[in-house]
Amino acid sequence: MSLLSKVKRRVFKTAAPVAKTEEPDEFLGWLHFANAGMLAPGNIAGIEYAISHLPDASPIVEIGSFCGLSANVISYLLTKYQAANELICSDAWIFEGARGDAQLGKHPHVTHAAYREYVRSSFMRNVQFFNPHRVPYAVELVSDQFIEAWTRADSVTDVFGRTRKLGGRISFAYIDGDHTYEQCKRDFQNIDRLLAPGGFILLDDSSCPQFGVGSVLKEALQSNTYRLILENPNALLQKLGAPADQPLMKKR
């Protein structure tokens, strides 16, 4: 995924007049003012639906955290719904096109390495400030390494110096890492093997043709093991095995 192209898409999309807000409450509005990030407003509806219908108390996994905006939304909504599920984030803060100690564009003093550390430290500060009572575990690994560690039930040390044993099944995954078809498909397949029946996957940018996520969504629906809960405009999927009477959220 090109971070710059994603930022440009968000800027141009949100620069147009908006008729109404989809912010669920005042806290999330203030959070958006202060916490940098590229979270589509419709994703909040998908996250809230998933958290309010979790199949069990197993952990929630986030692939791709950037400055912690989506992690803070998830943590807040877990508190709102009094859910005991822990949030575990996976991000190595390695951005496409980054060039180590090279200058960031034409800026004479800011480097790509400094930018990476700034984003990483911003994540840490943001999640500690906005959800101090349930700071997520944040594992500094790319998603493939994270899933390997999860499968082996490794004990890992997160960016805050805390140790946690990975493993077991997952109740909900927010996939917002590398948006290429190959990596997103691999992330989806890895999560699928761990996801509880009735669990959820939210695919960020599944509505954007410049990324490969839409193709992963199409294949997931063709597999007949997932049902589409909503597109707003990105897709929230539920793994089959949930109660038949569980309500669906209609497309907005």
In a domain, 185, yes or no: yes
Bridge partners of residue 63, in order along the sequence: 90, 175
pLDDT in tens, 189-235: 999 999 999 999 999 999 998 899 999 999 999 999 999 999 999 99
In a domain, 19, yes or no: no
CATH of residue 51's domain is: 3.40.50.150
In a domain, 250, yes or no: no
In a domain, 18, yes or no: no
Q: In terms of residue numbers, what domain contains 161?
A: 3-12+33-239
Domains contained in the chain, number: 1
Burial (0-12, 13-18, 19+ Cβ within 10 Å), 68? buried
Check: pTM over 0.85? Answer yes or no. yes
Spatial contact of 37 and 6, defined as CB atoms under 8 Å apart: no
In a domain, 17, yes or no: no
Q: What size, in residues, is the chain?
A: 252
In a domain, 204, yes or no: yes
- E-state strands within the chain: 60-63, 87-90, 137-139, 155-157, 163-165, 170-175, 195-203, 226-231, 235-239
In a domain, 95, yes or no: yes
In a domain, 244, yes or no: no
Which stretch of 49-63, 96-110, 180-194, 223-237 has the lowest confidence by average pLDDT? 96-110
pLDDT in tens, 134-169: 999 999 999 999 999 999 999 999 999 999 999 999
